[in-house]
Amino acid sequence: MADLRANCAGIESPNPFWLASGPPTNTYGQVARAFDAGWGGAVWKTIGEPIINVYSRYGSVDLGGNRVMGFNNIELITDRPLEDNFREIAEVKRDYPRNALVVSLMVESKREAWHEIVKRTEDAGADGLELNFGCPHGMSERGMGSAVGQVPEYTARILGWVKEVATRPVLAKLTPNVTDVTYIARAARQGGADGLSLINTINSIMGVDLTTFAPLPAVGGKSSHGGYCGPAVKPIALHMVSAVAGDRDVGLPVSGIGGIATWRDAAEFIALGASSVQVCTAVMHYGFRIVEDLADGLSNWMDEVGLRTLDDLRGKALPNVTTWEQLDLNYHLVAEIDYDKCIECELCYVACEDGAHQAIRRHDDADRAGGRHAVEIIEEACVGCNLCSLVCPVDGCIAMKQIPNGAPPVSWKDFTAGRGRLAPRPEHFHVARFG
């Protein structure tokens, strides 16, 4: 059985599955139940000067009958007294010494304030600290959260204050609401961070109530932008995690966050460089019990592909993340339909015809009666874009097949530098002439 033990920036846990800072980690009772269910770690919901929340805090994007494809919140940090939080943090550590308990922190941008909360949190027994530089709503209006994480200098300065007194590993939690997250990540490194957590939530309005014209989630007919998360944000998070994990000037362990709901999601984050993964929305949707399949599925898959530890998996996909200019222009793909599986819905046809490259031909009923298939790939027009295989509702019906063209790989970079040769391409999708 695969060894799922994780170590992120010196914070050890029996598995890489941590609850992200949020509503599920607000109390002793929740975190204790989560650890009983099998979670490896938890990041305690952000503590700081207590706030007052509004009613109506969450919104959901549903798609095709599936609930909570995307999720957002306008909830703030803990609204419980600091003393209660510290007491329960200590109780969790007392009762669950083997699990990782990280505490998320956010206070006003004053050196003394940060010193004090760091010391008190460490006194309570936290295994690590996560600085919330990412919360995009409410707290940012008060100069905290993403207001810090959007400015490299602030990020580095507060990390510096924290590191003056911290004795446990410090993670900086980054906001995706920036032009390029690697700049902030580098600043966090310079400030002394031991690791990074990302992504925090994305600025969002979840919708508009078309009866009241209230943005959602609505508070008395009004709303403010909230933090977007859930399965829909995973691709954004994967990109940012890979950008940070693959950046030589950052060079910090990463705790990956953003839309993780299954062990496959987790494996992808780890393959792109994450040392642990954090989950919130999926737990808010289905409860702590989901950790069982997260661990079981990951372990079974690792056994199947021969990966023994998370170190074997971590970063395995990173070398394959490159720039567009390095991609091989001679890698020739063509769609291929398995007619035994085709159900003749013609979704590939209309998608290609209207939405892409007019490379699928359809036959009318008379031709079909004569033995023609409903649809047919026009190989000489197919640009191998994948669209037909993406919209096809039948698994494995449309495959993208590589056409060997005998040509050595050539990237745009090489090609424009006069190195390498383009394999011949069908004239009609190669309109411009080069060289």
Q: Which residues are marked as active site?
A: 135
Choosing from 345, 385, 410, 423, the residue that interacts with other proteins (CB under 8 A) is 345
Binding of other proteins by 349 (CB under 8 A): yes
Q: How far is the CB of 383 from other proteins (least distance, A)?
A: 20
Neighbours of 114 (CB within 10 A): 25
> Residues near 203 by Cβ (< 8 Å), separated by ≥ 6?
136, 137, 177, 225, 226, 227, 228
Choosing from 3, 312, 346, 379, the residue that interacts with other proteins (CB under 8 A) is 346
DSSP class of residue 177 equals -
Q: Are 232 and 70 in contact (CB under 8 A)?
A: yes
* Total number of residues that touch other proteins (CB under 8 A): 13
For residues 406 and 332, give the distance between their C-alpha atoms in angstroms, rounded to a whole number.
Answer: 10
For residues 63 and 422, which CB has a smaller minimum distance to other proteins in the complex? 63
Q: For residue 206, give the nearest of 60, 63, 54 by alpha carbon.
A: 60
Q: Are 130 and 105 in contact (CB under 8 A)?
A: yes
Binding of other proteins by 64 (CB under 8 A): yes
Q: How far is the CB of 351 from other proteins (least distance, A)?
A: 9
Which contacts qualify for 319-322: CB closer than 8 Å, 24 or more apart?
321/242, 321/246, 321/272
Binding of other proteins by 362 (CB under 8 A): yes
For residues 393 and 418, which CB has a smaller minimum distance to other proteins in the complex? 393
Q: How far is the CB of 353 from other proteins (least distance, A)?
A: 9
Binding of other proteins by 343 (CB under 8 A): yes
Binding of other proteins by 347 (CB under 8 A): yes
Binding of other proteins by 269 (CB under 8 A): no
For residues 284 and 351, which CB has a smaller minimum distance to other proteins in the complex? 351
58: three-class secondary structure by DSSP: strand
Q: How far is the CB of 426 from other proteins (least distance, A)?
A: 25
Binding of other proteins by 376 (CB under 8 A): no
Choosing from 236, 350, 378, 400, the residue that interacts with other proteins (CB under 8 A) is 350
For residues 328 and 353, which CB has a smaller minimum distance to other proteins in the complex? 353
Q: How far is the CB of 344 from other proteins (least distance, A)?
A: 6
For residues 112 and 364, which CB has a smaller minimum distance to other proteins in the complex? 364
Q: Are 107 and 114 in contact (CB under 8 A)?
A: yes
Strands 58-63 and 66-73: antiparallel
- Tell me the window of 29-37, 89-97, 138-146, 347-355 that interacts with other proteins (CB under 8 A): 347-355
- Sign (positive/negative) of CA torsion 91, 97, 102, 105? positive
Residue written as token pair 């808010």: 284
> Residues near 325 by Cβ (< 8 Å), separated by ≥ 6?
411, 412, 413
Chain positions 388 to 427 lying near other proteins, rule: CB under 8 A, are 393-394
Q: Say which amino acid occupies 131.
A: L
- Tell me the window of 92-100, 182-190, 282-290, 337-345 that interacts with other proteins (CB under 8 A): 337-345
Q: For residue 101, give the nearest of 124, 135, 118, 120 by alpha carbon.
A: 124
For residues 297 and 156, give the distance between their C-alpha atoms in angstroms, rounded to a whole number.
Answer: 38
Binding of other proteins by 344 (CB under 8 A): yes
Q: Are 287 and 279 in contact (CB under 8 A)?
A: no
Binding of other proteins by 45 (CB under 8 A): no
Q: Are 45 and 105 in contact (CB under 8 A)?
A: no
- Tell me the window of 228-236, 267-275, 345-353, 426-434 that interacts with other proteins (CB under 8 A): 345-353
Binding of other proteins by 68 (CB under 8 A): no
Q: How far is the CB of 18 from other proteins (least distance, A)?
A: 34
Residues that bind other proteins (CB under 8 A): 64-65, 343-347, 349-350, 362, 365, 393-394
